[in-house]
Structure 1
Amino acid sequence: MKHAIDGIVPVMITPFTEANAIDWGGLENLVEWYIAHRADALFAVCQSSEMQFLSLEERVELARRTVEMAKGRIPVIASGHVAESLDDQRAELRAIAETGIDGLVLVTNRLDPNRSGREAFRANLDSMLSALPSDLPLGLYECPAPYRRLLSDDEFRRCVDTGRFVVLKDVSCDLKTVRRRASMAEGSPLKVVNANAAIAFDAMKNGSMGFSGIATNFHPDLYAHLYANKERETPLIKELTVFLALAAMGEAFGYPAMAKLLHVRQGTFTSYVSRATDYDILERHWALEPLLEHIENGSSSFRNRLRDGPEMN
């Protein structure tokens, strides 16, 4: 791999047209937006991408085009790991692996789809590893859908010991767990990257190698500033940490459609159609647009303060 998978890793949303097809022009604009806003890598074909609502052909094409659009500037990892049967999982993962991505991400709940426990997880993990290219870096994702399956310490250690994993998108939302896992992975290629905004800064200070949460679709550059200054705790950084945690609560109002609406407002693409959010977000979530305006204005304010103030490195 040319670049390590750490830092700010946006979980990419998928723009759709009003006709519910993938908007490839909008996707290209979005990739440019992430890079301009200090993304260090891109996580395509994940839950935020609505991967459970994409056909295999769409998942493969989404991964392939994201690689093309990134043009080698930053690494691209992708999952698309959604099938129930192991045979179908092997087929979909091999197809995604052939798109030119820098890393293939396995979903932990797919390695134990029937919630059978440790032995099933280990057997299925070994089966997948034997089916995938040995030279392709791998990742792990504790995706919340269809159920959140956190790795036990034994399972995590097993993955570290294979030497094949380079990143874990940690969805424990627990600072002690992030710290413990980072310690367990020390000296290995595997980087633990927290996905929870409420603990983002503290997690960075305790071993998380960046941030890969939903709010990377709002203001990844502000998280990049936190990560670059994780050894500092100035009044401005403390204020920024609070703003980011509170702004991330907006995800409860119809994500990922609400994140798409934010990008429509900013001109990244033209539609906030979502297959995962199957209702009218403006009808259900009153005053959503004023909320997005507050997030936008707050983000701009902090950008100006960080650019102009004495704390900017």
Structure 2
Amino acid sequence: MKQPIFTGSGVAIITPFNETGIDFDKLGELIEWHIAEGTDAIIICGTTGEAPTMPMEEHREAIRYTVEKVAKRIPVIAGAGSNDTHHAIATSRYAESVGVDAILSVVPYYNKTSQKGLYEHFSAIAKSVSTPIILYNVPSRTVLDLAPETTAKLAQIENIVAIKECNFSHVGELMNICPSDFSIYSGEDGLVLPYLAFGGKGVISVMANIIPSDTHALCQAFFDGDIETARKLQLQVLPMVKALFCEPSPVPVKKAMNLMGMNVGGCRLPLIDMEPQNEAVLQKVLTQYGLLK
């Protein structure tokens, strides 16, 4: 019987950078804040963490540091995906060696494969480690959609335990055809409640970087049967979600954190600073939400 890695709000945590690399003091501060605010899991080196810009040694150090800092208080999930299966295996093995609770493995990008190729890619990764694996389907970034039938086949593999699904149209079918112990997590902050209503276990969230308590509360209200509170919280965050994705993520969420005085640094190229008109919209939404004075 596969158990959920977590239920509730997992933060796709940003990576704070400085002039020399990762600002580990700031990362540690953010991790402690998330644990205090009720975040249910930390996802390190994902898309929001700008993992594609990290050299291998930096990527590995970020994973190792996070595991040691969290010290088993909540689950740590490491982004270890790649469009090169051998590279994904090497990163997954390293993540396992330092004690992550799960691995997040994204659909391969750029060198597009077939559904059979996706099955072979993920099954090869699964065979290389014993750590639980969460698949990650994000067609807007990979330009390749993991079909529900392929996910269901992969879900038969013992240590492939869940999916972060960004294609909401798949969720109902996944619930119908995947094993009952296979977990589905929302990859869309604006649709957390619908995912939960279909039977999802939670969200891997960008907005949790700035409102961790409310993101946790949205999920917990649903699990407690307080659907009205969950509905109100979901509707309340929609303007913020729109602002946080008005430019490529994580540009807006890092800008929001800096506006809030969290001093997390900027993004690495090719990501650039926000356009002034979009920053103004973001500032307005943050002010309305009570995050800026």
Give yes or no for TM over 0.5: yes
After superposition, residues 84-95 of structure 1 pair within 5 angstroms as 84-95=83-94
What is the rounded CA distance, in whole Å, between the counterparts of 1:181 and 1:2 in structure 2?
A: 17
Aligned-pair distance for 1:16? Answer: 0.7
Residue 226 of structure 2 corresponds to: 232
1:10 equivalent in structure 2:
11
> Which of 121, 126, 148 pairs up with 1:124?
121
**Which residue is 1:303 aligned to?**
none
Deviation at 1:240?
2.4
Check the 8 A contact 2:115/2:146 in 1, yes or no.
Answer: no
What displacement does 1:142 show? Answer: 1.4
| CA contact 2:81–2:106 (8 Å) conserved in 1 | yes
> Separation in 1 of the partners of 2:113 and 2:248?
32
Q: Within 1, Cα distance between the matches of 2:6 and 2:112?
A: 29
Whether 1:272 and 2:265 are equivalent positions in the alignment is: yes
8 Å CA contact 2:256, 2:283 repeated in 1: no
State the Cα distance separating 1:217 from its structure 2 match: 1.4
Shift of 1:34: 1.5
Tell me which stretches of 4 or more aligned residues in structure 1 moved more than 6 Å: none
Superposition TM-score, scaled by structure 1 size: 0.82
Question: What does 1:111-260 correspond to in 2, within 5 Å?
Answer: 114-130=111-127, 132-133=128-129, 135-144=130-139, 146-174=141-169, 177-188=170-181, 190-230=182-222, 231-234=225-228, 237-251=230-244, 252-253=246-247, 255-260=249-254
Partner amino acid, structure 2, of 1:249 = K
CA drift at 1:25: 0.5
Letter in 2 for 1:149: L
- Label 1:299 to 1:157 Cα distance change in 2 as closer, same or farther (>3 A): farther
Tell me the equivalent position of 2:57.
57
CA contact (8 A) 1:107 1:141 kept: yes
Residue 199 to residue 137, structure 1, CA distance change in 2 (3 Å): same
Q: Counterparts of 2:39 and 2:178 in 1: how far apart (Å)?
A: 23
Query: What amino acid is aligned across from residue 4 of structure 1 in structure 2?
Result: I
Task: Quote the Cα distance in structure 2 between the aligned partners of 1:207 and 1:44.
Answer: 25
Larger Rg: 1
Return the letter of the residue paired with 1:98: S
Residues 89 and 212 (structure 1), Cα distance of their counterparts in 2 relative to 1, 3 Å cut? closer
* Higher-strand-fraction structure: 2
Report the AA paired with residue 151 of structure 1: L
Asked if the contact 2:46–2:79 (Cα under 8 Å) also holds between the matched residues in 1, the reply is: yes
Distance 1:26 1:102 in 2: 22
Distance 1:59 1:97, change over 3 A: same
Q: Which secondary structure state, in structure 2, belongs to the residue aligned with residue 33 of structure 1?
A: helix
CA distance in structure 1 between the partners assigned to 2:90 and 2:135 by the alignment: 18
DSSP 3-state at the match of 1:285: helix
- Distance in 1 separating the partners of 2:230 and 2:132: 34
- Mapped contact 2:126–2:160 kept (Cα < 8 A): no
Identify if the C-alpha distance between structure 1 residues 20 and 262 changes in structure 2 by more than 3 Å, giving closer, same or farther. Answer: farther
Question: Kindly, what percent of the aligned residue pairs are identical?
Answer: 19
Alignment gaps of 5+ in structure 1: 301-313
SS at match of 2:77: strand
Match of 1:98 in 2: 97
Equivalences, count = 289
- Aligned alpha-carbon RMSD (Å): 2.7
